[in-house]
Amino acid sequence: MREALGAKHVDDGVEDHMYDWVGESLLAALAEVAGDDWNDQVRDA
């Protein structure tokens, strides 16, 4: 399953540097939802 997902990403033109954008966006979304509960310890977990 993981290999198929990786192949799909390649087929869709996903490049390695794009994963950083996804990670940053995910952390920003989590921080927004967590509100005051967000801190460095949660971010680094």
Residue pointed to by tokens 């979304």: 29
pLDDT value for 43: 93
* Start-end of H helices in 1-45: 2-11, 18-34, 40-44
The structural domains of the chain, with segments of one domain joined by +, span 17-45
pLDDT value for 20: 95
pLDDT value for 1: 87
Buried b or exposed e, range 31-45, using 16+ CB within 10 angstroms: eeeeeeeeeeeeeee
Q: pLDDT per residue over 1-45, tens digit each?
A: 889 998 999 999 999 999 999 999 999 999 999 999 999 999 999
